[in-house]
């Protein structure tokens, strides 16, 4: 069991791919976790995305997959869905992280078999779906709060 995890985490001992992929995981995580006072609870979705795709990535190690690229690719997709709601320095951080992720995607598209590019694209799509679902849930909760606030305000006036 530990051998599978070690192989998965270290790209079977390849330092270059370990540094690139773990670096991209850190960069994407920091960019998405970067909170601004106005961002509030909306940023909790990045953690849901991180946990879901990390669990999926670990499961895939048992089927021969290696690495953590699913994680940073999904975080990249999630980040794309959060761009509009990000302001100031947090937006700059997200742009830098997304550009680095694109550079990683291009690097692997040019140096690895096409199936890797397909897997990366699917992971980005998974992140987009998680982001859209999270945004929809946040919108529904926010809308319900707004409706309740209006009702209470009307009751207080009337």
The per-residue pLDDT for 71 is 98
Domain segments of the chain as ranges: 2-157
Collect the ranges in the chain with pLDDT lower than 70.
35-43, 142-158
d(CA 136, CA 134): 5
pTM summary value: 0.84
pLDDT at 154: 60
> CA-CA distance, 112 to 74, in Å (whole number)?
19
CB 38 within 8 A of CB 87: yes
Q: Are 38 and 86 in contact (CB under 8 A)?
A: no
What is the distance between the alpha carbons of residues 66 and 64, in angstroms, rounded to a whole number?
Answer: 6
Instruction: Please give the pLDDT value at position 138.
Output: 76
Angle at 76 between CA 72 and CA 82, to 5 degrees: 140
CA neighbor of 138 nearest in space, from 66, 48, 19: 48
């Amino acid at each position: 069991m530990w051998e599978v995890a070690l192989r998965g985490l270290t790209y079977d001992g390849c330092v270059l791919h370990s540094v690139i992929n773990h670096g991209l995981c850190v960069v994407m995580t920091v960019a998405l976790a970067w909170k601004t006072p106005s961002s509030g609870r909306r940023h909790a979705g990045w953690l849901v995305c991180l946990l879901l795709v990390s669990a999926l990535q670990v499961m895939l190690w048992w089927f021969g997959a290696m690495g953590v690229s699913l994680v940073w690719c999904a975080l990249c997709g999630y980040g794309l869905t959060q761009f509009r709601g990000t302001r100031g320095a947090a937006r700059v951080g997200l742009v830098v992280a997304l550009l680095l992720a694109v550079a990683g995607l291009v690097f692997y598209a040019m140096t690895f078999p096409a199936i890797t590019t397909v897997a990366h694209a699917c992971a980005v799509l998974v992140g987009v779906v998680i982001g859209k679902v999270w945004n929809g849930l946040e919108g529904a909760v926010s809308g319900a709060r707004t409706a309740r606030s209006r009702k209470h305000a009307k009751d207080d006036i009337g």
